[in-house]
Each structure stands twice: as C-alpha cells, then as structure tokens.
C-alpha cells in the first residue's frame, strides 16, 4: 500500500511539477507529498476504526475492570487499557478523581494516566508503516513499562500526600450512571464526528512534522548525524530527551521526524528516547493535572519520565 503514496508523489513532484530528481529540493518535495498523503490517509482510517471500537469501552467500564484487582494484575490492566483507550485529556481530571474515589490505588491510577496519553493505536500503526514493526513494539512496550514501573514506584513511596486534598473528599457514586447503549449507526456517526474534530486539531502538527522531516531528509547529511549523534556520543540520548521536553506534539507529528532520523542513521535508542519524550511530556497536560496533583508530584512525574526515557535510549542503543 505504501507504494501508492510513492507513486502519487512521483506523479505530482516529477511529473506534474517537473522537478529534477537529482536536486535536494525535489527530494524534500517528494518526501513532503508522500508522507502527508500517507499520514492523513492512515490517520483518518485508524481514527474512525479506533473511535468505533472505543465506543464500547467507557471510562466507567475501565474503572469497573480495575476495581478490587490484585495489584500486579491491576498495573498490567491499567497500562493495557491505557494504551488502547485514548481518553481526551480533558477527561483525565474526572477520571482521576473517580478512580481514586472508587478505591483504585493511587499507583494504579497513575500507571493508567502515564501510559494513556503516550501510547495510541494510531501512533503504533504509523510507526509500523513508516519505520518498521520492531519500532512499534518498542514504542508500545516502553509506554506500558514506564506506566507500570512509574505507578509501582509512586505506590511504594506512598505519595498520596501529593494529591490535592479535595480529591479524597469527593463522594463518588458507586455505580456512576451507565452510558446509554447506542445503535451501531450512532456509534459510527460519533466516531466520524470525533475523527473530524481530531483532524481539525492535529493537521498543523502533521504538516510541521512532515516539513521538518522533509528538510532533514533533503539537507542534513547522513555523515553529520552518524558523526555527531551516534551511539558513541553518550550525551546524545540525554540531549534528545531534554530537547524534547518543551516540544510537544501529537504522535502523528513525530512520526515523519523519527522516520527520517532513523533513515539518516540516528541510533534507534536515541530516536525512541526523543519520540517518547516529545509525546509524553506536554505542558498543557501538566497544567490540567495540576488541578488534582501538587507541584511536587508533577515534578516527580516529569523527572521519572526523563530518567525512564534516558535509560531506554541507552539500553536500546546498546542492544541494537
């Protein structure tokens, strides 16, 4: 299927626009057309499908599944459900309060909140198509492991004191009003609405991401990346993670950048560290979480992710 997009870009860039294949600029334009078309096509299809499936998994159900489970199982369930259910970040506050209020441990709740924004099915498939399925496996695995270990550490350190006190006092109804059971047609309509809404929100990230990827593709020489940011430069991994902290992008915007970095020979571990840090640490998300978590907890949250991604980067660079 990927060939279709290469053919489209060939036709548009070399045929219709008549650019010379040998020039850097033609390479940039080709990359831009191919990746933009591919990402928007996959994004739309995947979001429709994910939205449709998600209409069966409400947060009420997730809460129900996590309640009263032995801790080990609860952590695993929390990150698995976190990975497959991308809740709108605006729902994370009610979700957090309601999880804690119905007896789900703080560590398990945090495991869910760490993994959920980091791993998405859209990201998983895009990475697979653009870079390879080994990268998808690493992306999902790291997202789940960071959540599980982070949650367990928070639990072990007994950090409930860093939750805003009002949260504990909220009286959560035992059986929150169940959502209605909509007809298939209605679920599809809703998925379509959501897809349109998300597309409206993420298209700039995609274009910027593809743009950056295209410029690196056309103008940054492979030798430069290998020479300066290779696995033997021990500073490359922490630099990649820290440089990405203030950057925030939807995962779809990072894919083309990661694709071209790997292509240019940036080690997989360094690329993964950069990708995870860009996707996971976002200022808007932290501002929202500040409503329920004290500043100390947010600082620890960010510190944990930074450390986890740096370690990940070194480990993957050493192994592959």
| Closest by Cα among 69, 241, 79, 70 to 149 | 79
Residue matched to tokens 């698995």: 80
Q: Which of 26, 37, 93, 199 binds other proteins (CB under 8 A)?
A: 93
Residue 67 contacts other proteins per CB under 8 A: no
95 within 8 A of 83, measured Cβ to Cβ: no
Residue 97 contacts other proteins per CB under 8 A: yes
Residue 166 contacts other proteins per CB under 8 A: yes
The three-class DSSP label of residue 293 is strand
Residue 170 contacts other proteins per CB under 8 A: yes
Q: Which of 17, 90, 220, 318 binds other proteins (CB under 8 A)?
A: 90
Q: Return the DSSP state at 180.
A: P
Residue 223 contacts other proteins per CB under 8 A: no
Q: Identify the burial level of 3 via C-beta atoms within 10 angstroms of its C-beta, where 0-12 means exposed, 13-18 middle and 19 or more buried.
A: exposed
The whole-angstrom distance between residue 56's C-alpha and the CA centroid of its chain comes to 22
* Sign of the C-alpha dihedral computed for residues 141, 109, 294 and 162 taken in this order: negative
Of the two residues 161 and 201, which places its CB atom closer to other proteins in the complex? 201
Q: Minimum Å distance from CB 177 to other proteins?
A: 4
Residue 197 contacts other proteins per CB under 8 A: yes
Please list, in sequence order, all residues whose beta carbon lies within 8 angstroms of the beta carbon of residue 104, skipping any fewer than 6 positions away. 63, 66, 67, 74
Q: Which of residues 8-27 bind other proteins (CB under 8 A)?
A: none
Residue 48 contacts other proteins per CB under 8 A: no
Separation of alpha carbons 190 and 192, rounded Å: 5
Residue 169 contacts other proteins per CB under 8 A: yes
Q: Minimum Å distance from CB 62 to other proteins?
A: 9
Separation of alpha carbons 269 and 140, rounded Å: 14
| Piece of the chain touching other proteins by CB under 8 A; list 143-151, 191-199, 239-247, 293-301 | 191-199
The whole-angstrom distance between residue 174's C-alpha and the CA centroid of its chain comes to 32
Residue 285 contacts other proteins per CB under 8 A: no
Residue 291 contacts other proteins per CB under 8 A: yes
* Dihedral (Cα; 10, 11, 17, 21), 10-degree rounding: 30
| Piece of the chain touching other proteins by CB under 8 A; list 147-155, 172-180, 248-256, 267-275 | 172-180
Residue 294 contacts other proteins per CB under 8 A: no
Query: What does the binding site for other proteins look like in residue numbers (CB under 8 A)?
Result: 58-60, 63, 87-91, 93-95, 97-98, 101, 166-167, 169-173, 176-177, 179-180, 189-190, 193-194, 197, 201, 288, 291-292
């Amino acid at each position: 299927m990927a060939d279709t997009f290469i053919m489209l870009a060939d036709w548009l860039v070399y045929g219709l626009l008549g650019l010379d294949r040998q020039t850097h600029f033609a390479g940039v334009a080709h990359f831009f057309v191919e990746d933009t078309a591919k990402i928007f096509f996959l994004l739309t299809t995947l979001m429709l499908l994910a939205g449709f499936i998600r209409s069966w998994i409400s947060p009420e159900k997730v809460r129900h599944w996590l309640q009263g489970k032995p801790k080990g199982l609860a952590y695993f369930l929390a990150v698995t459900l976190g990975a497959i259910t991308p809740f709108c970040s605006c729902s994370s506050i009610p979700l957090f309060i309601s999880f804690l209020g119905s007896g789900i441990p703080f560590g398990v709740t945090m495991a869910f909140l760490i993994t959920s924004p980091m791993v998405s099915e859209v990201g998983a498939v895009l990475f697979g198509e653009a870079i390879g399925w080994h990268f998808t496996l690493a992306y999902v695995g790291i997202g789940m492991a960071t959540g599980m270990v982070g949650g367990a550490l928070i639990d072990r350190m007994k950090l409930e004191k860093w939750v805003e006190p009002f949260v504990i006092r909220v009286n959560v109804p035992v059986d929150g009003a169940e959502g209605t059971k909509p007809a298939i047609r209605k679920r599809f309509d809703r998925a379509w609405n959501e897809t349109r809404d998300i597309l409206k929100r993420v298209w700039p990230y995609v274009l910027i991401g593809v743009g950056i990827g295209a410029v690196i593709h056309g103008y940054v020489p492979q030798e430069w990346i290998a020479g300066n940011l290779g696995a033997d430069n021990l500073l490359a991994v922490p630099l990649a993670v820290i440089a990405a902290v203030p950057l925030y992008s939807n995962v779809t915007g990072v894919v083309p950048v990661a694709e071209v970095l790997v292509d240019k020979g940036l080690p997989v571990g360094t690329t993964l560290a950069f990708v995870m840090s860009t996707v996971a640490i976002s200022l808007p998300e932290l501002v929202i979480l500040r409503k329920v978590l004290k500043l100390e907890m947010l600082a620890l949250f960010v510190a944990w992710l930074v450390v986890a991604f740096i370690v990940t980067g070194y480990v993957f660079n050493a192994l592959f």
